[in-house]
Structure 1
């Protein structure tokens, strides 16, 4: 597709859990991991030992951020993504705070630093950590799985509220990208000493943080189970269809509306070279040089572009075309 503000995509809502991002948090032994493993075709990313008492769940051990990067590369590889999705629908990221510590250690090791507060080669390691964490999480959530992030709870003294445990560079990324943040609360045990299933809250209160992007979702689940959570989401979308007069679509249809402009480096490069020559013949080489240097830097040429810079190259091409059209329109007027 080509970007055109006069012919925009129209946002749509997808049915079911596919492609949705959830954050489920609370204290220990509330069923966070167990219920997540009951979702459709799960795969467990275990930064901590969440499967010690749960059998039959596909997983690979994660003992470093490098382990996660290797697995994440396989999970999100566009060339094999359809094959992966035949095996797995739900990715369980267990748990956010532990993953952030792995990532920080990876950054320290990468730059041979003792602590995150060190500056190496003029770099702010906290910024490097933030970029690294965001890059990997962004790849995972954009692959189209149902992603369930598991988090611990802590009392935030500044907010005076129970919130997901973690720093803003990691947990902030998860919260910002979650369609639903679920807080789980213990119900203790019954008179026979049996554990009562926890309850789930999907809207914020002064006591705890929770939220949902869906306006018509039930904000309380008395007995938290994977099935009950999915039913609440499905009903919320059905209510939205009825009240707002929309038609929910499949996840595949929703994903098609979010596909970015397709850029092939060789095609864009050749078109840019051709447009440079055409513009230079009509105007001057100086104009062409100014446009190129504005995007690439002084003294740079189109031939200096690498495949990873195809987006920048496309911007150069757009500006060259705009300038060429401006000249051609003026020629017609004259």
Structure 2
């Protein structure tokens, strides 16, 4: 088992390209959110509203319920199907956030037999259950290695600041995990009556919220297109490489760098049992039982632990290793 070691840390790396990046595009109607998003590489849309009515030839799932959403996410991320899915799709587009969250709320209400999330648990609300359910599905997507694009409408705070539309339990976790949050602002029409491309803003102002994880990202793109967005992100990474003297890596290399190797559950249990035997042979059975009770709960045993207690066994093994040094256990 690999135990996190502060004296042998993982070193962060930056990945080039859009693979694995998470992007939120938000703005008013007809600002090009969906139009440009579906022009990214090999798109697949989770269509929770009718944003594709004006688009032709785009692969999509017509999401009408939360079960639709969860089932599609499962196919996109299931280890048994993810490689096949990635041969077909590189960009997953959730269109749009507020509608998908409404489906989730309806599911939670039906599950607990109430008409609104506020009513649940005797008036205390089911907000935590809703938040957990929504983020569980979304997190599967954002951690799966696709380019993920969330699309949202606009809302305003009490003081008039423009922000992505959504309740805090759905939109906030998405915003916290985005690499790019772009506010799209309409530029109207030209003298011939033709629509001008919107502008995309990546830096927060008093007027609107926007953000980029990349310090060298331009503050805005005057002409927002899919190609210009891709170029702005790549230019920001290349500028960082030049300024800080490093070389970006592929997403696969970044992913491997961030992974922690986990041993199979049965092997973990064997290691705990073996070390526990050493404690008993050294006369520290009482201390062993204290640690087991602390990690697994009073009256529970290592032998009866299930895979749901994997983390508990990891913590127990780490504590045994620590106590082993103090107590002189072999």
The TM-score, its normalising length taken from structure 1, stands at 0.95
Residue of structure 1 in register with 2:304 after alignment: 304
User: 1:118 offset after TM fit, Å?
Assistant: 2.0
Deviation digits for residues 130-178 of structure 1, max 9, x if unmatched? Answer: 11111111111000110000000112124x3111011110000111000
Residue of structure 1 in register with 2:258 after alignment: 258
The answer (yes or no) to whether the contact 1:263–1:311 under 8 Å persists in 2 is no
CA spacing shift, 1:117–1:205, aligned 2, 3 Å: same
User: 1:194 offset after TM fit, Å?
Assistant: 1.0
Deviation digits for residues 5-32 of structure 1, max 9, x if unmatched? Answer: 2221110110011100000000111110
The SS at the match of 1:71 is: helix
The SS at the match of 2:318 is: helix
Q: Tell me, yes or no, if structure 1 residue 213 matches structure 2 residue 213.
A: yes
User: 1:124 offset after TM fit, Å?
Assistant: 4.3
Residue of structure 2 in register with 1:110 after alignment: 111
Deviation digits for residues 236-259 of structure 1, max 9, x if unmatched? Answer: 000000011111111111111111
Residue of structure 1 in register with 2:100 after alignment: 99
Counterpart-to-counterpart distance in 1, 2:214 and 2:288 = 49
Deviation digits for residues 108-146 of structure 1, max 9, x if unmatched? Answer: 111112211123389741011111111111111000110
Residue of structure 1 in register with 2:239 after alignment: 239
Residue of structure 1 in register with 2:145 after alignment: 144
Residue of structure 2 in register with 1:323 after alignment: 323
Counterpart-to-counterpart distance in 2, 1:107 and 1:303 = 36
The SS at the match of 1:147 is: strand
Counterpart-to-counterpart distance in 2, 1:28 and 1:138 = 27
The TM-score, its normalising length taken from structure 2, stands at 0.96
1:10-49 aligned within 5 A: 10-49=11-50
Counterpart-to-counterpart distance in 1, 2:50 and 2:235 = 33
Residue of structure 2 in register with 1:4 after alignment: 5
Counterpart-to-counterpart distance in 1, 2:63 and 2:303 = 42
The SS at the match of 1:302 is: coil
User: RMSD of the TM alignment (CA)?
Assistant: 1.6
Residue of structure 2 in register with 1:294 after alignment: 294
Residue of structure 2 in register with 1:126 after alignment: 127
Query: After the TM superposition, which of the residue ranges 67-76 and 2-11 deviates more from structure 2?
Result: 2-11
Runs of 4+ in structure 1 over 6 Å off: none
The SS at the match of 2:118 is: coil
The answer (yes or no) to whether the contact 1:264–1:310 under 8 Å persists in 2 is no
The SS at the match of 2:248 is: coil
User: 1:308 offset after TM fit, Å?
Assistant: 2.1
Residue of structure 2 in register with 1:59 after alignment: 60
Query: After the TM superposition, which of the residue ranges 177-186 and 114-123 deviates more from structure 2?
Result: 114-123
User: 1:57 offset after TM fit, Å?
Assistant: 1.0
Residue of structure 2 in register with 1:76 after alignment: 77
Q: Which runs of 5+ in 1 are unaligned?
A: none
Deviation digits for residues 259-295 of structure 1, max 9, x if unmatched? Answer: 1231311100111112212211212322111111111
Q: Tell me, yes or no, if structure 1 residue 281 matches structure 2 residue 292.
A: no
Counterpart-to-counterpart distance in 2, 1:28 and 1:303 = 59
The answer (yes or no) to whether the contact 2:16–2:250 under 8 Å persists in 1 is yes
User: 1:324 offset after TM fit, Å?
Assistant: 2.4
The answer (yes or no) to whether the contact 1:113–1:120 under 8 Å persists in 2 is no
User: 1:79 offset after TM fit, Å?
Assistant: 3.2
Counterpart-to-counterpart distance in 2, 1:306 and 1:123 = 32
Q: Tell me, yes or no, if structure 1 residue 174 matches structure 2 residue 174.
A: yes
